[in-house]
Amino acid sequence: MRSKEAYQIFEQSIADYHKKDFIDALSLNPYDKTDIKHVFYEKNWVDTVQWHLEDIIRDVDIDAQEALKIKRRIDHSNQIRTDIVENIDSFFLKHFQDVTIKPDAKINTESPAWAFDRLSILALKIYHMKEEANRSDASENHKKACHLKLMVLEEQRADLTMALDDLLNDIEKGNKYMKVYKQMKMYNDESLNPVLRARKK
């Protein structure tokens, strides 16, 4: 899996979601569950649903109970996203397990999966910025500003995809090595979150 293929899967997921544009729509994942492509598609589908949840919760007129419901759904979504990223890193760790690591090999500041996570979010930013840049009911100034932002996002995509592929190539050659660090999220764990722990007493 390289960045170009992953990005195409992310674009496919985003396009599929927007066929209905509904936060409760079922995933249209076309890939077999044994295929890593399935995991990449699902990763972006979760990101895409959460993107729209984040839009909804920012409505200043939203009902307080509905906002709380969505906030908790976003928290749950963040945990799912983290789990999927760690699953992707486990895939890469296994994929590269037979690589001979060079004595002077260095570790990267982030793992491949967390770089792919950023690429997934970037795909969403580009999709929605394109929408804004071409909105028929928007002013020319708005569309011009969004076109400029889109150019920056596309430059970020070029830089990130190049850096990500360089990282994978370095790991494959033994120039860098990877570790999988669990995020150790504490806020959903009743044994670690003091507020949740207190409710159990």
Taking only the tens place, the pLDDT of each residue in 23-37 is 999 999 999 999 999
The candidate with the shortest Cα–Cα distance to 160, out of 28, 10, 34, is 10
Whats the size of the chain, residue-wise? Answer: 201
Q: If phi over 0 gives left and psi between -120 and 50 gives alpha, with beta otherwise, what is residue 184?
A: left
Q: What's the pLDDT score for residue 122?
A: 98
Q: What mean pLDDT is predicted for residues 62-70?
A: 96
**Whether 171 contacts 96, CB under 8 Å:** yes
Predicted structure pTM score: 0.90
Q: Where are the domains of the chain?
A: 3-194
Give the span between the Cα atoms of 122 and 198, in whole angstroms.
39
What share of the chain has pLDDT > 70, as a percent?
A: 94
Q: What mean pLDDT is predicted for residues 173-194?
A: 78
Taking 70 as the threshold, does the pLDDT of residue 127 lie above it? yes
Taking only the tens place, the pLDDT of each residue in 36-48 is 999 999 999 999 9
Least confident of 20-24, 31-35, 192-196: 192-196
Which residue's entry shows tokens 């150019």? 151
Q: What mean pLDDT is predicted for residues 176-184?
A: 80
Q: What mean pLDDT is predicted for residues 156-178?
A: 97
Q: What's the pLDDT score for residue 81?
A: 95
